[in-house]
Amino acid sequence: MTKLEIQAAGGDTGTPLNLQKRLDWISAVAGPLRGKRAIDCGCGAGEYVRALTQLGADAWGIEYSTEKIDEAKRLGGLSEGRVAVGDIEAIDFPDAHFDIALVNEVLEHVPRDDAGIREVHRVLKPGGVAVIFSPNRLYPFETHGVSLRSGAKVPHYTPFVPYVPVRLGLFEYWARNYWPWELRALVREGGFSIERWGYVWQTFENISGHQPRWIAALRPLLRAIARALEATPGLRALGVSQLIVARKPH
């Protein structure tokens, strides 16, 4: 394994509180969803495709993992073909096909993230909107986890791991973690203009699967603190994820 070997895999953010929080963001920045054609690029088990469909969108999803697509089919609630195995680096839809593209905690797992952004740009109509959520390296914990060169796993709750420069070679990574200015540059280089950016704080629903028991015991308090910090200028920038709203020029 190299110091940064990207793997096309990851957890889902379709837990109830997190799903609703992100849907609220999408609705706020993309406007009324009814009648709009949307694609979830990296749709997991289809949670957001279902939710967007319920809000009136003509929603579709692609997902690299066949296991997750199988799970989406088992869960039901979507017509045949609404979610399918696909690759964000080569999206199997025509040019200028969608009004909205959701890229939700996906880019960090794409081997060629620049190619993925260009594909999202290609399938959007002129004036279309990409809503991008991705890890925030200002957040002081590495949520995807890292290993030492020896192969030993570093606990997820170890603070300040994201602040260690990758070039030092102290850790091995399987997913990227973007500085805010780094992600914005990537999106702009993909042909988009950025209309808005912000930060999203945790809902403490154990999305990573590595949440310590003491955090589970303090969830109500931690959620209240997170809501307050998410609304606090300056401190909000330490949120676990960053949000970018990007538009394809006319």
pTM over 0.75? The answer is: yes
Q: Which domains does the chain have, with CATH numbers?
A: 16-247 (3.40.50.150)
The CA dihedral of 72, 40, 99, 236, to the nearest 10 degrees, is 130
pLDDT digits (tens, 9 = 90+) for 177-222: 999 999 999 999 999 999 999 999 999 998 777 778 888 889 999 9
d(CA 36, CA 52): 10
The answer to whether the CB of 55 falls within 8 A of the CB of 28 is no
Q: Which amino acid is at 201?
A: W
pLDDT digits (tens, 9 = 90+) for 142-168: 989 899 988 999 998 899 999 999 999
